[in-house]
Every structure is written in structure tokens, then in C-alpha cells.
Structure 1
Amino acid sequence: MSVIVPAYNEAEKLPKTLKRFQEYLFQQAYSYEIIVVNDGARDNTADVVRNMERDIKNLRFIDRKKNMGKGYTVREGMLAAYGRIRLFADADNATDISHFDKMRPFFDKGFDAVICSRDPKDALGAKQAVAQAWWKRALGNMGNLYIQWMAVPGIWDTQCGFKAFRDYAAEKIFSATKINRWAFDVEVLALAKRFGYKIGIIPANWVNDPRSSVKFMAYFHTLWEVFKIRRLLNKLKI
């Protein structure tokens, strides 16, 4: 199994998250690797990860100096991974790594991808430990209706940063992605559906950091990228 962690200015959060990942994965019967991909961080993310390489088994570090966006960063990690199952998870561990326990039965049943959702309309029991600001909830709800109409019908939360794929699905999907920033999750799920992959959804217990760095305008950039995804899908010959 491969766990990919995109990192941009995450020096403060990574030590706790990587130790938690190691604690969980070390107890499993399968082999694993943890891949941290530096997205041109301006803080000392690189120093923190290199120091932890001595203590954490199978920790790999891709140290890119230029910021290219989360979509580019996850793609880079997914295509560099060796695992038969490849999971990407956010650096703050807002969706705890133990959620993978609920994903495994889906893979055992033949699913090609399994995602976490924070919306109970996707999976009963999904919840957010810390309520988001009202404007984030409002924009998120309106944005999701647009996303479903344009690209990913039937999924109410496309943006939760905890998604896993079989190796063949990860290779095919991420090799085809073009979106480098906020809406990459939408493109990934749209391609998974277009390629005919079977997608499972589990409920997230999302313990988010109220100091989130997502800015107001990021929502509008995401919607613009969704429009570009629709155009890319229209050009895709499958």
C-alpha cells in the first residue's frame, strides 16, 4: 500500500501526521510506503521530512522546489508509488488514516476506487467535527450542485482529501489528468466514472483545522476549473 501526502507549508502539521500514519500502518499485515511530495513549500517542510526519514519506516520524499498545485502534487505521488492500493491523504490528517479500515472491504469486493465523504447524502454517518463557516457551507453546497451537473453526478462531496485507488486505476486516471490545482478531485472522479471504474463511498469523521488556508476566491477558481474539466471530458474519446 502507498500513502501519498501532498505538502505545501506543512512543517507544523507533518510530524504528528506522519507519526500517526506510521503507528497505524506498522500494525497492518501488508507492506507499505509513505510518500510525501513537497509542492514548493516556503517553510521548512523539506527539513522536517528529511529529519523524520531516519525514524519512519519506508518514508519516501519527493522534494520539488516549484509550487505546481495540489493536483499536480498528488499526480506526481500517485505515479511514483509502488503500492497495489494507492491512497492520498491530507497533511493535517483531518480524515484519520484509520478510515482505511472501512475502505478495505470495498476493495475486497472488487471496487476500483473508494472515497471518503463528509456529506451524509453520500454515506450515512458522515460528519464534520468542527462546523465550517456559513459562507463556506453555502458556497460548497451551491458549488457541488454545479459540479454534479457539469462533471460528477451522484457524488455530493468530491473534495474530501482521502481517496484510494487500485494501482491500475490510479495509473490510468492520474496519467490522464490535466487539472493541477483545486478541482483536481473533480477531474479524478469524473475520469473514474468515464473509464467505468466502480467507486465506493465511506462516511468521513472529518476533524478539520479551523485555521484552514483555503481562501474565498479559491471556490471560484474551482468552479472555473470544473468548466475546463467539462470541456476536457467532451474531448475524451472513450
Structure 2
Amino acid sequence: MRNQIEFIVYGKYALFTDPTTKIGGEKFTYQVPTYQALKGIVESIYWKPTITWYVDEVRVMNAIQTEVKGIRPIKYQNSDNDLMYYTYLRNPAYQVRAHFEFNENRPDLAYDRNEHKHHNIAIRATKRGGRRDIFLGTRECQGYIEACSFGEGESFYDHYGDISFGPMFHGFTYPDEGDQKLFQARLWMPTMKNGIISFKRPENCEIVRTIHKDSMKHFKKGTNFTPVDEEYETMFKEVKR
């Protein structure tokens, strides 16, 4: 597929929670990463409001194992500490395949739709480990990425068959990626086939719930947005120095 990047992301722990139900304090991880968590990782590698990233597939490399930790977070009511139990995934590693498309809800950024440059920058950023810090679900779970070819190497689930995970959080639809008026949450029913989960596109999810009405942010060249041509030129000058 055009505009595609492939990489492996791994870390010591991961915590992929359902954001619609985790407010209670104690956190319990999903068995596999959500679409939204992987999209956040891809956007940490490289993102511009001109483009929208779509996660195509994830391949679970290591066995799914959990570990419970006692955590002492600060209480909501005061500055005292509380005791909570968080359930993490241990030694997670995932191969990810994703691609970008231009955001048609952004006609104000049409001048920045340079497919070749965006793709090249994304590939370079992937090889260098991303532009921003990588997290596996939550802030305390530091992650690391490396460029790879999707499907290479051996996975624990290569010949495991099908595993269904039941209803699961898919992701959020923000106003600038949806109808420009609503902030929505999506659910779906994932099935892992020999370690690989093929994600539905956001618009194809059957279960969608509106959280609240919202409006998209507008960008203006030279005020709160730098087009990729100027950014590329600045990066080139810094390299020459």
C-alpha cells in the first residue's frame, strides 16, 4: 500500500486500558493493543494535521503475559497516597503496519499535501526511533521502535489459530477526522489469526457512541502551522551545519 510504514515496537511493560471505564482508579490492561494506542504510537513517529494515519495490522510477537503491581497514586480528593493494583502486559513486542491518507476535512491545508515528502520524512523518523517519546498505552510504559519488514521473524502465535477477544475499544473519532461536529468513541470485535489482527477502518466500526459535540481546530500558515516544505528546508539547513 502507498504511504506505508512498518516497524516493531517493544518495551518492558504495556498497559492498554479502556479509556471509557478506567476512571475508577485501578487499571487492567487489554490482552492486545487497541487501534487508538497504536495510532498514538504512529503519530509519535511522525504527524501533521494534513495527514491521517490508519493502522492496518498488528502482529503479536511475544506470548501474552500479565503482571500485577501495587501502585501508590495520589488520591483525587487530596494529596495523600492511595493503594491501587495495576495489571500490566509483560515484555510486549508488536510489529505494526500503517499508512497515511490526506485529511479531506482540511482544505485549509491543501497546499501541504506533498505525498512524497511526507512519506520520506515518516520513513526517516521510523528508522531513527520516532520524533517523540513512545509509550505503550500509558506514560509509565516506555516503548522503543525499530524499522522492520512486517511478517519477518518468528511470532509466538504463528500457528496458534484464531483467538477472539470479544467487544473491545477501537478508538476515538475526533471532529477533524469525522463529521467535524462530534467527538465519538468506537467499539469492535477483534479476532487474532495466527498472531495477526487486521483492524477495521474507523468508518467501518459498527458500534459508535457520541461523547459530546465539538468543533475542529483551524490552522493558518505562518500563525500556528509550518508546512512540510519549510520544515524540510529547516531540517536540511540544520544537518548542513
**TM-score, normalised to structure 1's length?**
0.29
Q: Which one has the largest radius of gyration? A: 2
Structure with more helix by fraction: 1
Normalised to the residue count of structure 2, the TM-score between the two structures is 0.29
Q: Which has the higher strand share?
A: 2
